[in-house]
Amino acid sequence: MDGGFSLKDQLFNRDKVRYLAGLFAAADSGFDAGGFETRVMADLPALELKQRMTLIAGVLADHLPEDLPEAAPVLLKALPPPLDPSRTDDDFGDFIFAPLGEYVAARGVEAHPELSLDLLEEITQRFSMEWAIRPFLNRWPAEVLARMEAWASHSSYHVRRLVSEGTRPRLPWGEAVGLQLEEPLPLLDRLHGDGTRYVTRSIANHLNDIAKKNPDLVMDRLETWRAAGAQAAKELDWMTSHALRGLVKAGHPRAMKMLGYDPDLALGAEIALQSENVRIGDALEFSAQLEGQAGAPVLVDYILHFQRPGGKVSAKVFKLKQAKITGGKLELSKKHKLKGNATTFKLVPGPHRIELMVNGRVRAEAAFELLPEG
């Protein structure tokens, strides 16, 4: 029976493993491509995605010279041409090259840091080395940050992006980095005017990470960048919005003001539910009406307060509308599906609440009863 889409099988499978083995065999006639494929495929199907990367890196280490300086020429020769330099976004590369970074980190972080950074500079132009660079940042922070100073003006936007992405405080799958939040900011100062969205998105994501711990540090930096004029106004507007998205969901007043929304806007607001009883599997239908100054910009979200097992309550923020109050009034409606089979968040019957948040302030609320699926 078809089990549905599998990301791990799409990214790491026999064809991809054979492709990688072929590249190394072409680079070194002594490389045992068949043995490499057999070893990897013996264990790969049972592993999850990140485990597959580690497996391939380990098997590769067994098929290359033990010392990294001897293996490096083979690795470099095996690399395909760099990713298309004419593109500016959405070109992450082929995941099959991710294990090369794990291999370099395992063999080079202690004995060969400079050579390893040379290799990561090349590999990241085929697939992002944002995970592989982090062990080096922890072991050799000053040396890696110095190298990143040079990378910040690299001709490849993939290398420039690595400077921002590799130093992010929070990175899925990535090793935690011991840098202070402020330490990478001089690098971001150099990068924020970049002409590629691939880089500026990384910078905005980096700032969003920082904002979780130090909101004012982020907003001060964004104001400094705006005054500097190194980035096009439209792109910096996008970066600002993307960087502050977490603060906006939290209703942070200064973030709202930076985006042009007045948290203290004089406003009348009502929310009405189609029904005060909703079953799991059905939709919560509601309408909202705002009254205020004509032309005033509003960012409208709604917050659902869910019952959790054990009597606890958790809140989730959802986007509703970004608009202006035309003619002094704005009417909105929404159907929010309350899925009963979600794997990440299990609904619990009981009293629930919805709040209407406008420009970061809760302006109206209503209660409803969530009934068991029937």
* Tally of CA atoms within 13 A in the half-sphere of 76 that contains its CB: 14
pLDDT at residue 88, rounded to an integer: 86
Q: Where in the chain is the domain with CATH 2.60.40.10?
A: 267-371
Q: Where in the chain is the domain with CATH 1.25.40.290?
A: 64-258
Q: Is the pTM of this model over 0.95?
A: no
Indicate the fold that domain 267-371 takes in CATH.
Immunoglobulin-like (2.60.40)
Query: Do the beta carbons of residue 302 and residue 354 sit within 8 Å?
Result: yes
Q: What is the pLDDT of residues 101-124, one digit of tens each?
A: 999 999 999 999 999 999 999 999
Q: How far is CA 209 from CA 31, 180, 206, in A?
A: 42, 12, 5
Closest C-alpha among 74, 184, 205, 91 to residue 133 = 184
Closest C-alpha among 214, 135, 153, 146 to residue 180 = 214
pLDDT at residue 2, rounded to an integer: 46
pLDDT at residue 341, rounded to an integer: 76
Write down the architecture of domain 64-258 according to CATH.
Alpha Horseshoe (1.25)
Q: Which residues of the chain have pLDDT under 70?
A: 1-4
pLDDT at residue 365, rounded to an integer: 98
Rounded to 5 degrees, φ, ψ at 292 are: -170, -165
pLDDT at residue 3, rounded to an integer: 56
Query: Do the beta carbons of residue 284 and residue 296 sit within 8 Å?
Result: no
Does an H or E element contain 278, and which? strand 277-279
Tokens of 255: 């973030």
Closest C-alpha among 71, 36, 74 to residue 56 = 36
pLDDT at residue 275, rounded to an integer: 97
